[in-house]
Amino acid sequence: MPDPLSALRGPSAPSPIAPTPSPSGERRTAFAEHLEPPAEAAESPVSEAPAPSPALDALGDAVRSIARGERFVDGAMRRAARGKELEPGQLIAIQAGVYRYTQELELASKLVDKATGAVKQTLQSQQ
């Protein structure tokens, strides 16, 4: 039994559409030609990305420091959970590390809060 929808589907492969001349006689370009880069762009060398700004470097350092602090706190918690005996000097070092980590985390939180507020204020002033 033949498929009743086969007559409605038409040809299986799309037929190419011949370009139609414009009324003024100018040559029309195919859509695919617009997708190709111009010849001079293809020959130009790829430029290197500019060096990151010092502020971006500082932000990256801060994020890495926070991640390092998180690993330190996690390691201390795992050691404590295993019941490892720690000397007073080690406990003070852990306390100092946790304090530094919380300070960095609070600073990052405040910076994100200030940046969010600045973006909100900018968006409200543009309305």
What is the Cα gyration radius of the chain?
32
Smallest CA-to-CA distance from 100 within 126, 76, 127 is with 76
With a cut of 90, say whether residue 36 has pLDDT above it.
no
Tens of pLDDT, residue by residue over 92-103, are 988 998 999 999
pLDDT level of residue 32 (50, 70, 90 thresholds): low
Using CA atoms, how far apart are residues 104 and 98, in angstroms rounded to an integer? 10
Q: Which amino acid is at 89?
A: G
Q: Where are the domains of the chain?
A: 54-125
pTM (two decimals) = 0.51
What residues have CB less than 8 Å from 30, skipping those under 6 apart? 19
What is the reported pLDDT for 57? Answer: 86
70 in Cβ contact with 104 (< 8 Å): no
Q: Which amino acid is at 97?
A: G
Task: Give the mean pLDDT of 20-47.
Answer: 60
